[in-house]
Structure formats: C-alpha cells, structure tokens
Amino acid sequence: MCPKDEHLKRPALSSQFKVAGLTFRNRVVLAPMSGVTDLPFRQLAWRFGAGLVVTEMVASRELVGNAAESWARLRSSGIDPHVVQLAGREAYWMAEAAKIVAGNGAAVVDINMGCPAKKVTGGYSGSALMRDPDHALSLIEATVKAVDVPVTLKMRLGWDDQSINAPLIARRAQDAGVQMITIHGRTRMQFYNGKADWDAIAAVREVISIPLVANGDVATIADAHEILRRSGADAVMVGRSSQGRPWHAGVLAGAAAHPDIAGIVSIVEEHYAMMLDFYGADIGIRHARKHLGWYLERFAPLATSTEKAAIMTSTDPAAVIARTIAALSAGAVSLQETDAAA
C-alpha cells in the first residue's frame, strides 16, 4: 500500500518517536540552518517544545583543526538530546570530527548532504555529495564506524531533475548503519525555488524501514499533516517558517501556544540578550540583525523603512532593542492577521 493511502494511520505530531535507543518528545524537528539555528535560537526553540533541534552544520575538517567557529557551533548548554550536524567531503575528516562530537556529548551525529549553498557545494560538500553516491557512502560508512552514537542523514531528492537518487542513497545509507533519514523535497538545483515535492519523498519511504523525516515548505499545522500523509514520513522538519518564530516548531507540535504581542516582545528582548551574551556585544549585534529583521517582517508590518534602517545600522544595543520593541508594539493591531496568514 502506498504511504499516501495510509494517512489515517499517521501518528499525531505531539506523539513521541524513537531513533535507535533514543526517544524524541514529539514529531516536529527544527531544521539545522547555518547562520540561524545557533545556540540561542536552539535554546528558545527547545524551551517552546520543539521535538528535536539540530546544530548549524559544523565543518568537519575545521573542527578537527580547532577552528573557534566550529567549536562554538558544537555547544549544547543543556539541550538533551544534543544533535550535531557535520559537513565535509572526506571520509577521514568526517570520522575524526564525529569522534570529537561524540566525545563532547552529542547523542546523535547528523550528516549534511542537503545544503545547496554554492560555497558548500563548491567544496564538494553538502548536496554535491549526491552527485557521487559511492563517495557519499564512503563518508557515511566512515562516520558510522567512528562512533557508538546513532548517525543520521539529511539530504535532498537529488542534484537535479535528471538525478533523483535519494531512494538509492537512502537504502544504501540504511544498510551502512544510518538510523534516520531526512529528505528535503527539492533538488539542489532548485535551491528554495518552486514548491517542495512532498509526494516524491514517498519513494524513500518505500525503500527504508528506519525513521523518515519530511522537510520543505512546512509552515502550518495543515502543512505538517499533509506532508506526513503524502510522504509516509514519521516526523516533519521545519526550517524557514521558524525564522522570526523560535516557538513555531513547538506550536506545530501542540507543545506551545502562539504568544501574544507582549509575549513576542519578551521573547525578542530575551533572544537579543542571549545573542549578545553568546557572541559578545560587537559580533552579537551584527548576528542579531537578521533575526530582528524577521521579527519585524512578521510582526511589525507597519514599521517604516527609516525605522527598520535605524534598527539595522545602530551599534547601540539599548537603542536597537528599544526601537525594535516600539516597532513591534505599534504593529500589535495586525498581529492576529499576521499569525493567521502564517
């Protein structure tokens, strides 16, 4: 029976699911997003009830070489289970990095074979690995053999429409010992254009027995139920729809409620303070700008370009947060419509 015909049997988003010997508290996963899901964002998403959060991708060779940024991305600070995503193009460095990750408390090592960014694929990492399944499998096998913790894999449907090889790689990855697979329903060449193909993910479900997570264009509870129905997946992963809404995965899972404007203001204040504390004031101000932009885009549609520019260019933390709060408070009248549209 095709997975899409078994929608009545799909589990509730709020229910637990297991990967190897681990139990995750619900079936809504926050996607690893480079430059977005740093430790402060993950801590907020976890607190609001995401079933699982994953680090930004950690470059394997750079981690082994003690690069400060890679070590910063590795940090957990109380999130349990701690899931770290590794990226790389050589089996040796992936294996060595996996040992470091596991030795520093990771409960799961996730392999990145899905990132479409040119700076990643240009180095033959991320989704570029899907162009050479044999080489990709050598990385997977080396990583699995290097650690005792579960190894998972995130990838796309294929490199382009002429090479939809996710089912082939998924089956081989399962045989190599991978314990869970996440599929973004686009090819690399699509980047984030067009609509994710949720039906195509079902072809992976048909060839593997390990847990499957479906990803791509999941913004609402209805989306989450539909992608599960059409893909046959066990869980959903949300990415861009969480930008400016660290509580979003928890809301989809039924673990949290949409905050009102007072709640949003409080979260934004806390998020900003967390980022300054994590990165230091100078770097934190710069890294926080994208997050403030997303908050303003979603919840302060009445803010003028002049107001936004003042927030994005200021180097005074107190002025930045004061202006942001003022803009969000002024946009409160449209909050209900904004949440409904999202």
Positive or negative CA dihedral for 273, 279, 281, 283? Answer: negative
Which residue in 29, 115, 213, 320 is the catalytic one? 115
Mean pLDDT for all residues in the chain: 92
Name the pairing type of β-strands 180-184 and 212-215: parallel
Question: Which DSSP state fits 55?
Answer: P
Residue-wise pLDDT for 172-195, tens only, equals 999 999 999 999 999 998 888 889
Residue-wise pLDDT for 109-139, tens only, equals 999 998 777 778 766 678 899 999 999 999 9
**Under 8 Å between Cβ of 233 and 225:** no
Domains of the chain with CATH codes: 3-252 (3.20.20.70), 261-341 (no CATH)
Full-model pTM = 0.92
What would the two tokens of residue 6 be?
A: 């078994």
Match 């349990």 to its residue by tokens: 80
Cα atoms in the Cβ-side hemisphere of radius 13 Å centred on 14? 4
What would the two tokens of residue 317 be?
A: 């933390």
How high is the pLDDT of residue 337? 46
The verdict on whether 2 is a catalytic residue reads no
Residue-wise pLDDT for 136-146, tens only, equals 999 999 999 99
